[in-house]
Structure 1
Amino acid sequence: MPQFDYFKEAWKTSILERRSTVRDEFPDYHASDPGVLVSTSRIHSFELGTGASIYTNSLLPAILQAEHEIILVTCFWASSSTRSALKDALERLVEERRERVLRAGEPGSDAQAPSPLRVRICFSSRSLFQKLFHTWSRDGYVYPPSTWISQLGLPSPEVLEAGLIDLRVKSIFFLPFSVLHSKYVIVDRQKAWFPSCNVSWEAWLEGCVEISGDGVGDLVKFHKHVWDPQLESQLLPRVVLDLGSARPPGLGRITLTPIPSFAGRFVNLPEAVTPTILLPSSHHQNPRFNIIPFSKPSIPPPTPLNCAILRLLAVAEHSIYIQTPNITSTPVIDGILDALMRGVNVVIVTSKGLMLLEQILTAGATTSMCLRSLIRRYRKLQAKHTQLQHIPSHHDLEPDLDIEAQQPQLGSLKISYFRPQPGDRPESIVEEPQKSHIKLTIVDGQYTVLGSGNMDRASWFTSQELGILFYSVDFATAVSNTVAEVLVDRLEPVFSSVVHE
């Protein structure tokens, strides 16, 4: 994998070269050696749908199979069908574990009672009031059991205790804008899921990738440094056994009623060992706003995620596909234009009018404004490229113009807004996504980045993000084909330089 090795070394160098420009990173365990974020993983599945469909189809069934530990991290926590389904799942898990306790207590039974199950729920934003009065401490705020029902919509402490479930709920938030935006689920430290969705009510198009292997250990290390400094390095030795073998055969699997989505797709993958890089993007309290008109844009913090995206834009040779809720990050737009000038074809899918207030507060602009600027700049490149192609072949030319130099072909640019698939669906229980919330970058059909990071200024300068990069042609192809299938009749064209498609 010489190409990946080259990318990896260039990425590490770009982080270390600017290490002195940042202070007080959170987390910072990788700052002196970004190589600790590089590993391998086995990719089990990729899924598209709404947040509710992904949770009820994949995440909650996985949680119901946990024996020792559940770690659920999300950014937003809100009353929703997703939260109700999570509460239902925990209550069913309690019932199943209580039954196992009773069986173990029967005379002559050789059944084993379940070991205590540790459940850790972490989030950043619950309400405006919560954010305004939240502690600034990195230790965050741990919710007392008395708030679990009334404020969080979770089962009561008594119910959870009956199933030997040890629950802790914690939030971390930093004023003015710095949410911890990462989202992931870890079950028994054997498997992990990276969904783009929150525990919230929005019916948006979301994505989720499921992995096992060393990449899970890297995620646990990240979680320890951000959310749980007291987290021990290892679980009980029993956890290395097959997760399904711990339950008595008579109990079977607990099932939930899924919430389907018209955009729902689930792809099982061959689980080949895949080079993987975990990509944290640390919280930065200083958003580096620059209120002087026409001044040079601020340089983004050299976080692993930021540097990976910039490096991918710089090394792209053939194609860049970006699907993001918003695009207001100037470094990203500049990187896209540089790639277009090298002849790289670029496709952008984003959302129209999503989180407008946040865009204005954090970027001083909106996605539509930034796209109009991108299109104007691209058209200038087109005009310049056309002019160079028609230079006359005589000596009356500028003396420093090398007419022998081969001008690279300008890459194509295609931009679309996501829209709901047309059609009336009165009182349907199947969800149709209204906006696109997936965060996806595919470069040259071999590098794929998923996670929580958007291509907006908030993600690049203030929020704490977490992405994951996979180097695999097979995975990039599977993701690309699945997304393309879902986007049929769900795109509103904004701009295309390709005359005939």
Structure 2
Amino acid sequence: MVSEHLFKLCQATETVSSVLAKNPTDSPGDVVKRLYGHHKRDFHYTPEKDRPALSALELEKAFRCGRWGPSQPSPLFLQAFADSLNCLDADPMSGVVSPPLMGSHGTVPLTVIAPLADIIRHCSNLIVRAEREVFFITCSWSPSVAQRLIKDALIELSRRAGERGQRVVVKMMYDKASAANAIDAHQVEKPATYTGKTIQLPKPEEIPNLDLEVISFHKLVLGTLHAKFCVVDRKVAAVMSNNMEDNDNMEMMTHVEGPIVDSIYDTALITWNNRLNPPLPSHDAPATEGGLPTSSQEPLYMDRGPAREQHEIAADGQAVRLPEHMPDDPHYDSNLEGEITRMQSCYSMKPHESRLQAANRQLNLVCKNPIPPSGPDIPEGQEMTPYITSMTPAPVPMALVSRPPYRPRQHAQRRSVFIQTPDLNAAPLIPALTAALKRGIDVTYYVCFGYNDAGEIIPGQGGTNDQAAQGLVKDLSPTECQLLHIYYYVGKDQDHPIHQSFKQRSCHIKLLIVDDHVGIQGSGNQDTQSWYHSQELNIMLDSEEVCRKWREGIEGNQNTRRFGGAAEDGIWRDKNGNPGEGYMGDPGKVEGLLKGISGMMKKVKDKGGF
């Protein structure tokens, strides 16, 4: 239930961003202390305790805690929203957003389900189309195709700003642990550091028309900045699952517009914490009023056209031949429609190439260990379509359910739960899934085979995906097992899961869909680190139409459903009954610790450590 304390927090007229609108030279951290510092913080609060479903009066109270505009949240969405609000009883800042902005509304004109570089291609286009400001926050940052795309975009943004006779304010933030973080978790980086070999952002002379400020953040020891998002001109925002590096991951991004952008902007300010030097031009131009006045001709928010079906996008992409947007060979588009056509053109067949070979080509593009396709050919109409139009005729209810993350209570849904995540082993989640299955709820989850086994197998981290699956199955009756569907990620061009240690086909998507209409997407994994230590940003929405698009994209851009089903014991096995290559088994605590330490040392060495 929503307490009177929570209700007052959500009904307050001031937020971090509204106070900074009046005093843009203040630091967000100081504003947080003034607004919420007097509230007692409870570090032993346990939101996992069971709570009954809300009554009609309590649902109405939860409804009044959000700013839903013309949208109408469902009871399931409001129950989940109320559950996430309850985390604020322990600390008003536990949602990393001012409480009045936690519940909002907006649209999702684009969803990307694709390799990491394809998501950053969209971010680079957003950056070059910016006119006044860019706020970009991520976790891991390393020299890569993604990094070079962002670097090129900043240089191009500076060039365009110079032609307009303007300056653009750019704030960038990433997680980088160092000894200095013990004194101050937010470290302002000097140009010599952020232009050096480990970061490689542009030098000041390369971006003369940008006011670039960079912060590295890490709260020692385990307090990781794991959120990944950007806000441009306070008009659009992108919520991502990916880091800035080269890898073989399939990722997911949600591009949102409308009032929800103000909520994400508020989170960006709170995360930044320090005084903004210079202040952001949009400090007094909220998204609810259109964001910063710009000269862009691209229609935004409710002026966008209707969503297109994926088969239409595939046909349009096959009809043209457009050069791929690459580092050192950029091809920026003036609007979202142009981006979609260009991206699909790259996934379309070239002469003497099948659809399967086209998908394999793109999935191998930045893969360190390219592999040939092993899956069946892809028929017409089932092409891989990384850019998905998910625009709705009206705004939909949205809420930020950031870290401490939303713990799905699993007592409100009526039909089904779908999850895709790299790892699924968080201690509070496994019993919740068990309880849902015992109530007759259909549960499907996709995980990555062997994802970060070296880290997850260390005692206290929850165990590997294989271990978690076996533990879950053991607690179920045969009837309940029929409701549980465990799958291991299979790439669109493959016919079997590939262990993540081979770095060939992995999946890093973080998605939850309940009863086909409430969806949560963002940076939060379903593992111990994300649940208890990392700062995350997740967006929850209430839309059957968007969730349908998300699920179609999930199924259409991978072969997990077709080839990744686990055996009765929760382990994926080949046609001969053998686990996939790389399977670690179920070692005891001592062996698990030794394997974990050995694996983590190898991981550090591979990244240039020691």
TM-score range, shorter chain: 0.7 to 0.9
> Which AA in structure 2 matches 1:72?
F
> Could you tell which deviates more after superposition, 409-418 or 331-340?
409-418
Separation in structure 2 between the aligned mates of residue 43 and residue 27 of structure 1, nearest angstrom: 22
Mapped to 2, the partners of 1:252 and 1:16 lie a distance apart of 40
Higher relative contact order (CA closer than 8 Å, sequence separation 6+): 1
What TM-score does the superposition give when structure 2 sets the normalisation length? 0.61
Aligned to 2:566: 494
- For residues 17 and 422 of structure 1, do their structure 2 counterparts lie closer, same or farther at Cα, with a shift above 3 Å needed? closer
Secondary structure, aligned partner of 2:401: strand
Alpha-carbon distance between aligned partners in 1 of 2:110 and 2:188, rounded to the nearest angstrom: 33
Instruction: Note if 1:234 corresponds to 2:256.
Output: no
Q: Specify the code of the residue in structure 2 equivalent to 1:345.
A: D
Letter in 2 for 1:136: A
Contact residue 190 and residue 212 of structure 1 kept, 8 A: yes
- Measured at CA, do residues 464 and 10 of structure 1 come closer, stay the same or move farther in structure 2, by a change above 3 Å? same
- Equivalent residue for 1:223? 268
CA displacement at 1:245 relative to structure 2:
7.7
* Per-residue Cα deviation, 1:142-194 (whole angstroms, up to 9, x for no partner): 11012232141111111112xx1111111111222221100111110100111
Once the 2 structures are TM-superposed, how far is the Cα of residue 73 of structure 1 from its aligned partner?
0.9
Select 2:179's aligned residue among 129, 133, 138: 133
C-alpha distance in structure 1 between counterparts of 2:133 and 2:390, whole Å: 25
2:538 to 467, 480, 489: 467
Q: Which region of structure 1 is more displaced relative to structure 2, 224-233 or 194-203?
A: 224-233
Q: How does 1:161-176 map to 2 (within 5 A)?
A: 161=208, 164-176=209-221
Match of 1:156 among 186, 203, 210: 203
Q: 1:179 is matched with which residue: 220, 224, 230? A: 224
- Identify the residue that residue 119 of structure 1 maps to in structure 2: 170
Tell me the residue number matched to 2:434.
337
What is the TM-score of this pair, normalised by structure 1? 0.74
Question: Is the Cα–Cα contact under 8 Å of residues 385 and 553 in structure 2 kept in the other structure?
Answer: no
Unaligned runs of 5+ in 2: 1-58, 61-71, 300-331, 348-361, 364-383, 496-502, 571-610
Partner residue in 2 for 1:280: 402
**Aligned length in residues:** 410
Query: Structure 1 vs Structure 2: percent identity of aligned residues?
Result: 22
Paired residues of 2:186 and 2:274 also in contact (CA < 8 A): no
Rounded to whole Å, the distance in 2 between the matches of 1:81 and 1:29 is 31
Structure 2 contact 224–535 (Cα < 8 Å) conserved? yes
Contact residue 320 and residue 347 of structure 1 kept, 8 A: yes
CA distance in 1, matches of 2:402, 2:212: 26
**1:479–1:5: structure 2 CA closer, same or farther, 3 Å change rule?**
closer
C-alpha change, 1:321 and 1:156, in structure 2 (3 Å) is same
Residue aligning to 1:195: 240
Tell me which residue corresponds to 1:321. Answer: 418
1:252 Cα deviation (Å)? Answer: 8.5
* Paired residues of 1:343 and 1:411 also in contact (CA < 8 A): no
Q: Distance in 2 between matches of 1:27 and 1:140?
A: 19
Aligned equivalent of 1:392: none
Structure 1 residues 321 and 274, CA gap change in structure 2 (3 angstroms): same
Correspondent of 2:388 among 267, 271, 276: 267
Give the letter for the 1:144 counterpart: K
Report the equivalent of 1:436. Answer: 507
More strand per residue: 1 or 2? 1
The Cα offsets for residues 422-455 of structure 1, whole Å up to 9 and x where unpaired, read as 569xxxxxxx961110001111100011000011
Alpha-carbon distance between aligned partners in 2 of 1:473 and 1:333, rounded to the nearest angstrom: 26
What is the CA RMSD across the aligned residues, in angstroms?
A: 3.2
Q: Residue 107 of structure 1 corresponds to which residue in structure 2?
A: none
Out of 233-242 and 415-424, give the one that drifted further: 233-242
**Structure 1 counterpart SS, 2:292:** helix
Kindly report which structure 2 residues correspond to 1:386-465, keeping only aligned pairs within 5 A, or say none. 412-422=483-493, 434-465=505-536
- Structure 1 position 115, deviation (Å): 2.1
Q: Which amino acid aligns with 2:206?
A: V
Q: What amino acid is aligned across from residue 239 of structure 2 in structure 1?
A: F
The CA distance in 1 between the partners of 2:553 and 2:78, in whole Å, is: 31
User: Which residue number in structure 2 is paired with residue 401 of structure 1?
Assistant: none
- Post-superposition shift, 1:207? 0.8
Within a 5 Å distance, the mapping from 1:353-372 to structure 2 comes to 353-361=450-458, 363-372=461-470
Cα displacement string for residues 191-232 of structure 1 (whole angstroms, at most 9, x for unaligned residues):
011121111111201011111011000001111111145455
1:133: Cα distance to partner?
2.1
